[in-house]
Amino acid sequence: MPRQAYVNGRYLPHRDAAVHIEDRGYQFADGVYEVVPVFNGILVDEDLHLDRLDRSLRELRIVEPMSRPALKLVSRELMRRNGLTNGFVYMQITRGVAPRDHKFPKGAKPALVMTTRQVKPHSQQLLDEGLKVITVPDQRWDRCDIKSVSLLPNILGKQAAVEAGAYEAWQVDADGMVTEGTSTNAWIVTPDNRVVTRDATHSILNGITRITLLELIRKEGYELEERCFSVDEAKNAKEAFLTSSTSFVLPITQLDGKPIGNGHPGILTGKLRQHYMDYMQNLKKSA
Ligand code: PLP
């Protein structure tokens, strides 16, 4: 069966799936999204992702297109149709279709699109070498906590990274403090082995991987600080890493061309990655 997508109530071949030209997501980026990772056939932290989706919708006053049980049902049906075992479910909800006008349309029905993507495991080479990251100015708005489809600064940052031969760009605020990556959260380990990541304010997206890893870090008893850190502190850190639903936990070995620590993936980073992989491995299937 060819890969399928879900579009406003219908399962369609992915290549034919389309939305209306006056969908407000297309015209105004007036919408939100979620990426729920799938590991060994299990939707990882599904309810945390759906809680964040609800919150994003509430903050933008977009109506829920369907109930949570219905969303879960569609995710599972699409996974089944596409034979998805490892990868992610992408869901996007926009304010709907209406004649182009900035103000909220009256009576527009929210539009829901869902797709899945199979993803290969990270290569051993990538895990052994670690990632290069560059820094870019954070040019985003004041509500980065909302998972909006409006991602232009993130796209420009990621493209700058690619053009510099790097995997990710860490965005830096006006005070010289790292906010987060363009699609990942940013972490360092200090010379005295404290794990540091920025606190979850409106300046970052509170990653679900971040939330789960924070819990694992507390459970394992590592020293932890949720606070801002500067580019300078990051360059002099013992270790650095990033997290996201598709990256899980990945080591960073270079920032703006400067090796982090001894230039190899950090030992604590490796342990945290393992804790996170074990966490996913031990998840049980839910209906
Ligand atoms: N920060 C930004 C800007 C993101 O876009 C993402 C993921 O897309 C993350 C952080 C990581 O969030 P999560 O762990 O929920 O994937």
For residues 266-279, average pLDDT: 98
Nearest residue to 116 (alpha-carbon basis) of 150, 91, 141, 153: 91
Indicate whether 194 pLDDT > 70. yes
Q: How many Å lie between the centroid of ligand 1 and the Cα of residue 184? A: 5
Indicate whether 285 pLDDT > 80. no
Q: Given the structure tokens 């796209």, which residue do they identify? A: 155
- Quickly list H helices, 90-133: 124-129
Q: Which atom of ligand 1 is nearest to the CA of 37?
A: 16
Mean pLDDT, the chain, as a whole number?
97
Indicate whether 137 pLDDT > 70. yes
Catalytic, 271? Answer no
Q: How many Å lie between the centroid of ligand 1 and the Cα of residue 215? A: 17
Cβ distance 231 to 178 under 8 Å? yes
> Which residue's CA lies nearest to atom 8 of ligand 1?
183
* Ligand 1 lined by 75 (C-beta under 6 Å): no
**Angle, alpha carbons 180-184-190 (nearest 5°):** 60
The band of 282, judged by pLDDT with boundaries at 50, 70 and 90, is very high
Burial 226-255 (b: 16+ CB within 10 A, else e): eebbebeebbebbbbbbbbbebbbbbbbbb
Helix (H) or strand (E) holding 271: helix 267-281
* Ligand 1 lined by 37 (C-beta under 6 Å): no
Residue 237 CB contacts under 8 Å (≥ 6 apart), including other chains: 188, 189, 190, 191, 229, 260, 261
* Ligand 1 lined by 245 (C-beta under 6 Å): yes
Cβ distance 64 to 265 under 8 Å? no
* Ligand 1 lined by 210 (C-beta under 6 Å): yes
For residues 245-252, average pLDDT: 98
The band of 255, judged by pLDDT with boundaries at 50, 70 and 90, is very high
* Ligand 1 lined by 178 (C-beta under 6 Å): no
Indicate whether 147 pLDDT > 60. yes
For residues 178-202, average pLDDT: 98
For residues 234-244, average pLDDT: 98
Give the rounded percent of residues in the chain with a pLDDT score beyond 70.
Answer: 99
Catalytic residue among 72, 132, 147, 238: 147
Which SS3 state, helix, strand or coil, does residue 229 take? Answer: coil
pLDDT value for 287: 52
User: What does the alpha-carbon distance between residue 186 and residue 255 come to, in Å, rounded to a whole number?
Assistant: 12
For residues 52-75, average pLDDT: 98
pLDDT value for 180: 98
The band of 115, judged by pLDDT with boundaries at 50, 70 and 90, is very high
Cβ distance 138 to 176 under 8 Å? no
pLDDT value for 284: 83
